[in-house]
Amino acid sequence: MSGLDLNVVRAFVAIYETQSVTKAADRLAVTQPTLSHSLAKLRSIYSDQLFTRGAAGLSSTSLADQLYERFSRALASLDGTLEAAREFDPACSSRMFRLALSDMGTLSFTHAILQRFQGVAPNIEIDIQKIDDRVIEDLSVGRLDAVIGNLPALAAVARSQPLFREHYVCLLSSAHPTIGNHISVEAFSACRQIALSTPTPGNQRIADALADLGLSRRIVARVPHFSGLAQLLVQSDLLVVVPSRAARMYLQHGGLKVVDLPISLADFEVRVYWHVRHETSQPHQWLLKEITGTLGEH
């Protein structure tokens, strides 16, 4: 076990999270041969391949999955003690923070956060990841530093702070052939709509509200993300339901308009979530303060 030092553990965690020796080397600012040497040490210690290469890249073995859970927790705990013992200077730091956001959150918030950091922490890097089913686990083991969204289940196991209240609106072409500045429930139900292919709380709430009226949505396309939404809507008869802040961002593209939903849906709260271990971490407390100052209601 003499080869199991801290650098080897960090190398393993980086390879596991990136599923790539090249990306892991970039993250740790070391050479690929150095990382390969660390991986070879671990393979010898545990008598296991740990990672196998396939068409889609590296895949972890069952033992590697078990090691990752223990190593990542140990590193998070160790890093927490180091952070508590030294001053954090955002103006000089080149630290990377990992944030999880929804598709809409990525589109709506990334620019504002980067603008904020450019002025006060120009060398800090942000790794933005998509919220998925592992978000609770990722936050608890330290794979994520913070999560931004509307996640009631996460509030039960993590610390959080409200940022703002939000509501859904209809976004469509300003030259829509049948819809003007208002839309009836019947017209909304009949209109051709786009939705995210991944389940969202908003889509379920809309479906439930329509079901109470004996109606349903006419979804003609499901897409994995909304990055090209403006091009899909302009000069078409399509409609999409999005949070109001995202809709305002899309309006800047031109050729689009916003119409109120014809059904009553309660507002929802967007919050920033973090793990309790970060309560005494200067970098994390700075991050949370900047996120709140950038996105919070004033």
pTM comes to 0.72
From first to last of the 298 residues of the chain, give the pLDDT tens digit.
555 788 898 899 888 888 888 888 887 888 889 989 999 999 999 999 999 987 767 888 999 988 988 887 787 777 666 655 567 899 999 888 999 998 888 888 999 999 999 989 999 999 999 888 888 878 877 789 999 999 888 887 889 999 999 999 999 999 999 999 999 999 999 999 999 887 777 778 888 888 998 999 999 999 888 878 888 899 899 999 999 999 998 998 899 999 999 998 889 999 999 988 787 788 999 999 999 999 986 4
Q: What span, in angstroms and rounded, lies between the C-alpha atoms of 256 and 96?
A: 36
Indicate the fold that domain 168-265 takes in CATH.
D-Maltodextrin-Binding Protein; domain 2 (3.40.190)
Q: Is the dihedral of CA 60, 65, 67, 68 positive or negative?
A: positive
Task: Name residue, tokens 């040490």.
Answer: 41
* Domain at 6-84, CATH class: mainly alpha
Domain boundaries, the chain: 6-84, 96-165+269-295, 168-265
Within this chain, domains 6-84 and 96-165+269-295 share the same CATH topology: no
Q: What span, in angstroms and rounded, lies between the C-alpha atoms of 184 and 188?
A: 6
Q: What span, in angstroms and rounded, lies between the C-alpha atoms of 261 and 263?
A: 5
Q: Which CATH architecture has domain 96-165+269-295?
A: 3-Layer(aba) Sandwich (3.40)
